[in-house]
Structure 1
Amino acid sequence: MKVVLFCGGLGTRIRDYSENVPKPLVPIGHHPILWHVMQYYSHHGHRDFVLCLGYKANAIKGYFRNAQHSMYSDCLISDFGRSVKVIGETPPDWQISLIDTGVWRNIGERLVAVKDHVKNEEYFLANYSDGLTDVPLDEMFHAFRKSGKVGCFLAVRPPFNFHLAEFDEQGAVSRFRTSQQCDIWINGGFFILRNDIFDYIQEGEELVVEPFNRLIKSNQLMAYRYEGFWRAMDNLKDRQILEELVERGEMPWQPAARKLMIAE
């Protein structure tokens, strides 16, 4: 399946990291978070990507145009750097369509802008490009296909704890609970969509607002609930948490790291 990655947002909550780096290129360890997301899909056999660009589009284009196998593999260098031979396993052969969908468009508009790039796909994947998970994608897809619905999103528990207050019309508090005590699920930003999704999107609409509400009314939206690892990089604190996982070698979103963790 093709994978549509939304890479055009302004990323205002993490802009303090750098004004020159778009959010998808903010590094987690030695690689941008976008690379980690693409590696996840590549592991599951999905290597045809459509990137919806916007803010700092040229930076993302430059990253991929300048990327070389030797950046991500062991290599043998000779002739003063003019000869580079990759040793061992080479990086996956990704096909990447870099599509400038405009700076000010929302997610729904960006998806419509690349409609022609997925027109031959009965199903396709989509992602916000700022979150990591170890959800079993094949199982998620099989459950979705069996449901016969048009849309599916990954539903996860909030990774942070907050307090919820319940009160009556006069403002008197009747109950005070933590989020961990409640059955709360949020959108994890990993989507599987049938091509019929475009019948539910009208001009200027945000994907998970009006279109998803139409899917709900038609009983065509499914949530795949998952309580394993998931973390989004919404701000600098989130990046620090992911960075610390990488430094410890605990990267559940990467198959090789998962195997190492299990072996230990």
Structure 2
Amino acid sequence: MKAVILAGGMQSTLHNEREGIPKPMVEIGGKPLLWHIMKHFSEYGVYEFVICGGYRVDLIKEYFMDFYIYQSDITVDLQSNAIEIHKKKTEDWKVTVVDTGVFSSTGRRVGMIQNYIQENDFLVTYGDCLSDINISELLDTHFQNGKTATVAVAKPAGRNSLLPIDREGNIRYGKEMKQENGAAWVNADCMVLRRDAFAYLQGNYDLEKQLFVKLSERKQLASYKHKGYRTAIETKRDLAVAENLWNAGIAPWTRKRCSGQV
């Protein structure tokens, strides 16, 4: 199983001293958002990643090319340029970084990495979102419903558009759905797609505005209701809150919740 991470937006302004880096490379606890996201997925046995880069994709490539060095202690002989590695640390990940353009939509980015996906199903998430979504449960829901796409949904946090979800858990765009008390849900920025989803990714449109609508019309868009932690790092306040959770040792997205593999 592969996870596709959308990491191609414009530069981050979350750190004044580090403007000019892509938002997924903004650090929490000395680690970029990408690392935190990938660490969470790897806790569920997902070790292969395709990163859809754009703005300053070179920084993302450099990070993973030098990942082994960054994670380890080293001794450098400046006369001979010899490098000795101490306390070798790395991750059991295989990472593909693809330049999908600076101005591409989320839908186009996913469409551009089709050649890197051989599996029948794959995960997609955003490079600026953290959560404790149970990836195993999300995948189980997807395989059980047999739909082309299963989108994780969460309770609204104030800055999101509500999704029209029927009683069977299907997302029905174009339908006026009565939102009863406590029944409102929003996109939790994590989903599972079947390969046939690529057929709908034509043009430069966002996933929600193109893929979701088309699949909804064909009753091929289902939901997985996530009732736990989920946040998008969109403001300096969001970043500060996440940093405080990490420093306090209670970051929800780092807690290992399963022993099985996907």
TM-score by length of 1: 0.81
Which secondary structure does the structure 1 equivalent of 2:252 belong to? coil
Q: Is the 8 A contact 1:42 1:92 kept in 2?
A: no
| Cα displacement (A) at 1:79 | 7.9
Q: Do structure 1's residue 101 and structure 2's residue 100 form an aligned pair?
A: yes
Q: Is the 8 A contact 2:12 2:20 kept in 1?
A: no
CA 1:238 to 1:122, structure 2 compared with 1: closer, same or farther past 3 Å? same
Paired residue for 1:173?
A: none
1: CA distance, partners of 2:220 / 2:131: 24
| Cα displacement (A) at 1:201 | 2.1
Paired residue for 2:165?
A: none
Map residues 237-252 of structure 1 onto 2, 5 A cutoff: 237-252=237-252
CA 1:17 to 1:241, structure 2 compared with 1: closer, same or farther past 3 Å? farther
Unaligned runs of 5+ in 2: 161-178
What do you get for the CA RMSD once the two structures are aligned? 2.8
CA 1:15 to 1:219, structure 2 compared with 1: closer, same or farther past 3 Å? farther
Q: Is the 8 A contact 2:139 2:192 kept in 1?
A: yes
Paired residue for 2:236?
A: 236
Give the count of matched residue pairs.
Answer: 237
Paired residue for 2:116?
A: 117
Q: Is the 8 A contact 2:12 2:21 kept in 1?
A: no
Paired residue for 2:46?
A: 46
| Cα displacement (A) at 1:18 | 3.1
1: CA distance, partners of 2:101 / 2:212: 23
2: CA distance, partners of 1:153 / 1:61: 28
Identity of aligned residues (%): 31
Paired residue for 1:2?
A: 2
Q: Residue type of the partner of 2:86?
A: K
Q: Is the 8 A contact 1:10 1:23 kept in 2?
A: yes
Which secondary structure does the structure 2 equivalent of 1:245 belong to? helix
Paired residue for 2:153?
A: 155
Which secondary structure does the structure 1 equivalent of 2:91 belong to? coil
Map residues 205-216 of structure 1 onto 2, 5 A cutoff: 205-216=205-216
Greater CA drift, 76-85 or 233-242: 76-85
CA 1:8 to 1:17, structure 2 compared with 1: closer, same or farther past 3 Å? farther
1: CA distance, partners of 2:239 / 2:203: 34
1: CA distance, partners of 2:27 / 2:141: 33
Q: Is the 8 A contact 2:3 2:46 kept in 1?
A: yes
Q: Residue type of the partner of 1:129?
A: G
Map residues 1-264 of structure 1 onto 2, 5 A cutoff: 1-10=1-10, 14=14, 16=16, 18-68=18-68, 71-72=70-71, 82-86=83-87, 90-118=89-117, 120-160=118-158, 182-255=182-255
| Cα displacement (A) at 1:45 | 1.1
Unaligned runs of 5+ in 1: 163-178, 260-264
TM-score by length of 2: 0.81
